[in-house]
A and B are shown apart, each in its own frame.
Chain A
Amino acid sequence: MQDQAKAPVVDRSMTKPVISARSLDLTFQTNDGPVHALSSVDLDIGKGEFVSFIGPSGCGKTTFLRCIAALETPTGGTLTVNGMTPDEARRARAYGYVFQAAGLYPWRTIEKNIALPLEIMGYSKAEQDERIARVLDLVELSNFGKKYPWQLSGGMQQRASIARALAFDADILLMDEPFGALDEIVRDHLNEQLLELWARTEKTIGFVTHSIPEAVYLSTKIVVMSPRPGRITDVIDSPLPKERPLDIRDTPEFLAIAHRVREGLRAGHAYDD
């Protein structure tokens, strides 16, 4: 409840966007000819927003996230992150990235896995320990720091990988279907935890998903995309309050947004091909 008072929604639109894309294009050259992964994408993401990208395979949602992380280079248009190019933003440690697979190193304990980016970025040992303890607490894994990844469940592994992305204080968290490989019950639990974590840390989150309920439950903004060429078909600003218990998913407001997302997906998707 405090959070609502602290961060009124109107303020976000006043500030400069954290991520800004203008007529962004990305065409892959393949043996079967060019593939338009992204076509004229315009999008602004404000500070502290939770933005979900939803759409069928090939709609470019992951590609867009990878462009923000400078893992792909757009072939046209402009993209800025914190007012910088994605490359500069990366060097400024503007974002942490969470992949679908937790991707923890099996030869490192959970602590040591979280230390990985800190080692690479040259943090001192003392600061590493302090940060590891802090992010382990954030994802509720404090007692598991000394365990190896194979000793943890899939959901716990993914929480550890989120902790790893949070360890170096990036303002932006980019998540590419982080819970896609987990079962529904674990996923619900992690969604709840993620919202709590977002409220506590006030990060800006970009979240790619296949799941309509997940997108609606988590997001302040839902970006609906469609394939061939990959483009944005609808951007929905969620009217849901920031405080969201799981049973909010049965309210008429929630169902109305879910309906609009579904309509957007249907409109953008030609089923006959």
Chain B
Amino acid sequence: MRSLLPILTVLAAIAALWYAAVAPMNIRGALDVAERAGAEVVPAESRARFDTSIWRLMVDNAEHIGLGYSLERPRLPTPVQVGTELWKTTGEMALNGRPMSKRSLIYHGWITLQSTLWGFALGTVLGMAGAIAIVYSRVVDMSLMPWAIISQTIPIVALAPMIIVLSSQVGIEGRTVPKAIISAYLCYFPVLVGMVKGLRSPGAAQLDLLRTYSASGLQAFLKLRLPASMPYLFTSLKIGIAAALVGTIVGELPTGAISGLGARILIGDQFGTPLAIWAALFAAAILAGVLVTLLDLMQRVTLRRMGMQA
């Protein structure tokens, strides 16, 4: 309970900062609304206001600042507006029996989640396989590791459209597979690096001990290296699943997808509905939070079962 106060303090600070930012961000929109309602605005002409700084506008029209907190299409919506939009596109639709409507974020979140999980699974398998190869073969270590690092220096937005084009070229229909590939591309790296470190974590004495038992390489792997790598693996998986989600969303952005959280963000941008963008953004953040929390729980349970203090 003692940690509650600092947590609430940080939350309150974020909310305060956010609310404070809404005023300057929405002042132009607020003045447009005020003008249309027949109120007096300085400067009166929309064109002239465009050339005036927002700070000047706020000083000259202090009485209209409040309107910025209830715009229909705000540049920066308030937390309450975002929350309301989020509820309208998730909980309310579910209550109305249409959770999988095309306008529901549950539907779009589900589309994104599927690709994320496929990409996460693929990336984890690739990362672990790569790590095992790297730990057991010096040749692979020297030949694969540099490429793994280079792969992460390429901006994923540049790569995503090419992966879509190439996968349609080899006859893969739909977007689930290419999105999963993009997601796996971001996700495998933290798993690879973490597992390499984890598999190498047993010291020389530990390996010598197994040698005195004439243990086989497979026994050393199963009884020592693999269990020793578990704490590292879970840390990597948590980073990996967040990266996989980012990968999927990026995969939905520049590719003309019409469903998925990334597509919602893009469409919201094109149709000038910032509320939709913010709601999708928060849905993605909540989804990532849930996924990471689930992995964290799995980590606690697994490590406690293994007897290690988690």
Contacts and interface: CB of A to CB of B under 8 A. Distances in A.
Contacts of B206: 103
A117 B214 CA distance: 9
- Most B Cβ at <10 Å: residue of A66, A95, A96, A103: A103
Interface of B: 203, 205-206, 208-215, 219, 223-224, 227-228, 230, 306-309
Given A105-B224, A105-B227, A99 B213 contact: no
Q: Which 4 A/B pairs are nearest by Cβ-Cβ distance? A: A107-B306, A148-B307, A97-B212, A99-B205
Given A101-B205, A120-B219, A107 B227 contact: yes
Interface string A187-211: 0000000000000000000000000
Nearest to A100: B205
A44 B102 CA distance: 85
A71 B204 CA distance: 11
A99 B214 CA distance: 16
Contacts of B213: 116-117, 120-121
Contacts of B223: 105, 116, 119-120
A97 B208 CA distance: 9
Contact of B205 (A91, A93, A103): A103
Say what secondary structure dominates the interface of chain A: loop
Bin chain A's interface residue count.
20 to 34
Contacts of A119: 223
Nearest to A119: B223
Contacts of B309: 150
Contacts of A239: none
Given A99-B205, A116-B223, A109 B210 contact: no
Interface in A112-159: 116-117, 119-121, 148, 150
Contacts of B219: 120
A64 to B, nearest CB: 15
Nearest to A91: B214
A100 to B, nearest CB: 8
A97 B212 CA distance: 7
Given A108-B307, A120-B214, 12 more contacts: A66-B208, A71-B208, A97-B209, A105-B224, A107-B227, A107-B306, A107-B308, A116-B223, A117-B213, A120-B213, A120-B219, A120-B223
